[in-house]
């Protein structure tokens, strides 16, 4: 059992992490000072200990503070600075610093983040929908710095609708060691050497949600293209295409909400195999799929990966009760969910049509504790034919 471990960074990754941390800290300090000198802005800090259990990573521990600069006229907030550190008993650890401001620059939304992730026991089952049930492990360390800038192209005054253009830059360095994975050694997929996967990101975003943190009505659509080329310092040349639609609709009342998400993603070119484990979005960093707390809850992390993925989450959300504790406002909520998805891979030996059960399905329920207007503590329990029970404790709604 791994309880504590030393973070080891190669020189390029160490430089990358250091530069990213310095730049983001400088941005945060300067923006904080500006907000303090502006009238009608309030600071709030919400922090929870990272004491959690996740079926994929084990018992986690650490700290998760979030600083909000709020204002009545700026929704969902003026500035958010999110820091996180956690380590786990099964091996993975992560630390990141994230800055987001929808209003600092008029008509622009700026996000900046730097992140380091270390997983000496990263799971690998194979590539494609017909991957075997035996889990093998390999080492994956990943450091990155990225920024996105979204410009509002159209926003009428009478409702929440807006259309935005997105431009982003990402610098990613990944260290890979496959010496403990016979399947990776024998199959030799692209990317076993690790390396740089730097990119530019272009996209369009449509957003009509009534509330970003706890949406009850509206839609949120991303259409994204990530271009990774040698001219950007990348060791691999490929194109990632991603589209995601999220929709929210009240049923009976605004305390009983239907929330759905569907995502499709494919790669063109010579993408490294470990990029198949992630999906892109227009906010914050890439998340892992298929399987795990961010995609198919109740299916093991990265259980199914492939060059093309399609998955959906369907939820019924119920805001049960509001209450006040220690002069803080809280809302207790619950949700029922069904998650399902597919993966396709042109490099696998069998095609989608040959698969006995291409659709991967999980189901479950969860509890949410909303703290104030912009902080959510989340617990989900899911199960599937791949896992008797998956338990996930973290923050925020899944989408």
pLDDT in the model for residue 246: 98
399 vs 180: CA distance, rounded Å:
35
Nearest one of 319, 343, 340 to 382, comparing CA atoms: 340
Query: Is residue 27's pLDDT more than 60?
Result: no
Averaged pLDDT, 345-371:
74
119 vs 139: CA distance, rounded Å:
6
Q: For 146-160, how does the pLDDT look when each residue is reduced to its tens digit (9 = 90+)?
A: 999 999 999 887 788
Query: Is residue 334's pLDDT more than 50?
Result: yes
pLDDT in the model for residue 21: 44
Q: For 230-271, how does the pLDDT look when each residue is reduced to its tens digit (9 = 90+)?
A: 999 999 999 999 999 999 999 989 999 999 999 999 999 999
100 vs 233: CA distance, rounded Å:
26
274 vs 283, residue with greater confidence: 274
**CA triplet 102, 106, 107: central angle to 5 degrees?**
75
Q: For 41-59, how does the pLDDT look when each residue is reduced to its tens digit (9 = 90+)?
A: 788 887 777 777 777 888 8
Task: Give the domain ranges of the chain.
Answer: 11-395
Q: Name the pLDDT band for 287 (thresholds 50, 70, 90).
A: confident
Helix (H) or strand (E) holding 17: helix 11-36
pLDDT in the model for residue 60: 85
Note the CATH architecture for domain 11-395: Beta Barrel (2.40)
pLDDT in the model for residue 115: 95
The count of residues in the chain is 399
Q: Name the pLDDT band for 357 (thresholds 50, 70, 90).
A: low
| Average pLDDT, rounded, for the chain | 86
Query: Is residue 331's pLDDT more than 50?
Result: yes
CB 28 within 8 A of CB 111: no
Query: Is residue 351's pLDDT more than 50?
Result: no
The first and second tokens of residue 189, run together, are 């997929």
DSSP state of 232: G
Query: Is residue 16's pLDDT more than 70?
Result: no
pLDDT in the model for residue 22: 42
pLDDT in the model for residue 346: 64
Q: Name the pLDDT band for 356 (thresholds 50, 70, 90).
A: very low
Exposed, middle or buried, 11 (CB in 10 Å: 0-12/13-18/19+)? Answer: exposed
22 vs 263: CA distance, rounded Å:
34
How much of the chain exceeds pLDDT 70, in percent? 87
Q: Name the pLDDT band for 285 (thresholds 50, 70, 90).
A: confident
């Amino acid at each position: 059992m791994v309880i504590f471990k030393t973070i080891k960074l190669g020189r390029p990754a160490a430089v990358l992490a250091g530069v990213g941390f310095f730049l983001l800290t400088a941005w945060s300090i300067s923006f904080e000072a500006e907000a303090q000198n502006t009238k009608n802005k309030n600071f709030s800090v919400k922090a929870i200990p990272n004491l959690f259990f996740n079926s994929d990573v084990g018992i986690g521990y650490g700290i998760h503070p979030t600083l909000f600069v709020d204002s009545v006229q700026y929704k969902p907030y003026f500035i958010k600075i999110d820091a996180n550190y956690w380590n786990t008993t099964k091996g993975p650890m992560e630390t990141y610093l994230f800055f987001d401001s929808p209003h600092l620059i008029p008509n622009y939304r700026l996000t900046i983040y730097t992140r380091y992730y270390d997983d000496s026991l990263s799971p690998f089952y194979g590539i494609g929908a017909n991957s075997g049930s035996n889990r093998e492990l390999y080492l994956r360390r990943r450091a990155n710095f990225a920024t996105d800038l979204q410009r509002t192209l159209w926003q009428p005054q009478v409702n929440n609708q807006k259309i935005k253009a997105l431009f982003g830059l990402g610098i990613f360095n990944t260290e890979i060691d496959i010496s403990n994975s016979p399947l990776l050694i024998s199959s030799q997929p692209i990317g076993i050497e690790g390396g740089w996967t730097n990119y530019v990101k272009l996209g369009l975003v449509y957003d009509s949600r009534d509330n970003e943190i706890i949406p009850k009505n509206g839609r949120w659509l991303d259409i994204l293209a990530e271009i990774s080329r040698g001219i950007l310092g990348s060791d691999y040349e490929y194109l990632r295409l991603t589209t995601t639609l999220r929709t929210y609709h009240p049923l009976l009342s605004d305390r009983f909400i239907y929330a759905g998400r569907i995502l499709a993603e494919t790669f063109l070119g010579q993408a490294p195999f470990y990029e198949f484990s992630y999906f892109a979005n227009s906010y914050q960093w890439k998340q892992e799929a298929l399987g795990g707390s961010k995609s198919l809850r109740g299916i093991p992390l990265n259980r199914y990966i492939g060059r093309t993925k399609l998955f959906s989450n369907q939820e019924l959300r119920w805001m049960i009760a509001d209450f006040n504790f220690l002069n803080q406002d809280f809302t207790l909520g619950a949700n029922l969910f069904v998650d399902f998805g597919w993966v396709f891979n042109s490099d696998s030996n069998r095609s989608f049509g040959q698969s006995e059960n291409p659709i991967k399905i999980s189901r479950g329920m969860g509890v949410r504790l909303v703290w104030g207007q912009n902080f959510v503590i989340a617990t989900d329990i899911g199960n599937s034919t791949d896992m008797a029970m998956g338990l996930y404790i973290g923050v925020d709604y899944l989408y």
